[in-house]
Amino acid sequence: MTPPKHVWSGDWEAESEAEARRRAEAEAERQTRESQAAEAPTAVGRTIAPGSPADPYARPEGAPPRRGRVAALAIVAILIIGGGAFAAGLLLDGDDDSKSSTTPVAALPSVGSKPVTPSRGQTRAGAIYAAASPAVVSIRTSTGTGTGFLIDKQGTVVTNDHVVETSKDVQVKFGTDGRTIQGEVKGVDPSSDLAVVHIDASTIPGGVKPLEFADSRGVSVGDVAIAIGNPFGLDRTVTEGIVSSLGRTLKAPNGFQIDDVIQTDAAINPGNSGGPLLDDGGKVIGVNSQIATNGVTSGNVGIGFAVPSNTVRQVVPGLKQGKTVSHAWLGVQIDTSGASAPNATSGAVIGSVETGGPAESAGLQAGDVVKSVDGQEVRDSTGLSTYINSRAPGDKIKLKVERSGQTQDLDVTLENRPEQVPSQAGTQTTP
């Protein structure tokens, strides 16, 4: 079974690799230029400050930060703890760069879900489709097509980050009337693979009811799962299955880890990206994002993955306002091979520590085994990642680690995660 791939009808993987290479080359050149500028004045007797108008690598005023895509190459297939499961600690960075503080996120509400009662002669899937599909849209950019869905009457559409990528504007189409509507990308979060598109409320077709979110903590294995999307460009296709498993982890577009992912056998294919995964009450339990394939075909083999609704509920309000979501970062890479600590039977084994990161500052070392965090037992890498993801940048945590047979406590102050996973050759990968 090959690693999961994003279900986007464009050539996402090739574009990811090209963008990652471009960013690496640009960053290397920028660092070289900065080093040279620091050592000697320019021809006009001054250095060029990074970010100044004279700096060719400066981001234009008002432009969104550059966002790279990390490809699934062996040398960079690294997930650094600090992933995509979100709790009360999630923060938003304000648009004003002069502000050093961050603002706590207020999550979107969840609603109770009762199983839909079909009309006479109607299937349950048919009833859910009739109610939910009008709010499902197709999204087209210059590189491909995907899916999204309306969540309020103000014109907020949720989709995947890897669907919109660097686009500022996209084309949105409701299947109910076939009109093409211009949509503005308000915000993206590569760490959770989520994005928000805004359309003018007046363009929403009459009678379309926005979809509501269920609490994904209430989802159980075996529950009904219904996906609606645009696989291979086939408008608003519905597929039905079950929730196959919970608590899966996926690689986000920026290389970090998305936690608490829902696995389903509802058929999901290229073009389904960004569409809703619904429960038997027609409420959103996840956003369809990736599939696993057998290496022979890129189509469905019964293993699809959705970002859980509680992650969506937490991230979307900030993206809707055009803000940047901040994620807590520990700065370690996990060794799942057992090479760093062959005798460890439980805990998260540290494969390497990111230079200059919070873990290094606290004294964490490669080969350490994290046994608990803030008094809570850590059984494996997922447990550590999930806990870090529930905290916010600036939070202080206490790690109990085992090193050379001795146990010690380390105090760590979490920092804000970098834009993408720093690549480091020779490091063991994490799930």
Q: How far apart are CA 22 and CA 68, in angstroms?
A: 9
Q: Please give the pLDDT value at position 30.
A: 58
In a domain, 27, yes or no: yes
In a domain, 429, yes or no: no
Tens digit of pLDDT for each residue in 47-72?
223 333 333 223 333 444 433 332 22
Q: Please give the pLDDT value at position 104.
A: 58
pLDDT band at 430 (very low <50, low <70, confident <90, very high): very low
Residues 171 and 140 in one domain: yes
Residues 251 and 363 in one domain: no
Contact 307, 25 (CB under 8 A): no
Contact 227, 288 (CB under 8 A): yes
Q: Please give the pLDDT value at position 62.
A: 41
* End-of-domain residue from the set 306, 324, 342: 324
In a domain, 299, yes or no: yes
Contact 341, 370 (CB under 8 A): no
Tens digit of pLDDT for each residue in 59-109?
333 444 433 332 222 222 233 344 444 333 454 455 444 333 345 568 899
Tens digit of pLDDT for each residue in 254-291?
888 898 999 999 999 999 999 999 999 999 999 999 98
Residues 220 and 249 in one domain: yes
Residues 112 and 183 in one domain: yes
Q: With pLDDT > 90 as the criterion, what percentage of the chain qualifies?
A: 47
Contact 85, 389 (CB under 8 A): yes
Residue 106 sits in which domain range? 92-324
Among the listed residues 81, 163, 162, 69, the one whose alpha carbon sits nearest the alpha carbon of residue 420: 69
In a domain, 154, yes or no: yes
In a domain, 280, yes or no: yes
Looking at the 3D structure of the chain, how many domains does it have? 3
In a domain, 427, yes or no: no
Residues 320 and 285 in one domain: yes
Residues 31 and 138 in one domain: no
* End-of-domain residue from the set 291, 324, 357: 324
Residues 247 and 288 in one domain: yes
Q: How far apart are CA 431 and CA 424, in angstroms?
A: 16
Tell me whether strands 332-334 and 348-353 are parallel, antiparallel or unpaired: antiparallel
Q: Please give the pLDDT value at position 339.
A: 54
Residues 27 and 104 in one domain: no
Residues 31 and 105 in one domain: no
Residues 336 and 293 in one domain: no
As annotated, the active-site residues are 162, 193, 273
Residues 288 and 338 in one domain: no
pTM across the whole model: 0.73
In a domain, 426, yes or no: no
* End-of-domain residue from the set 266, 301, 324: 324
Contact 262, 271 (CB under 8 A): no
In a domain, 291, yes or no: yes
CA-based R_g, the chain, Å: 22
Residues 51 and 158 in one domain: no
Q: How far apart are CA 173 and CA 204, in angstroms?
A: 10
The domain spanning residue 406 has which CATH number?
A: 2.30.42.10
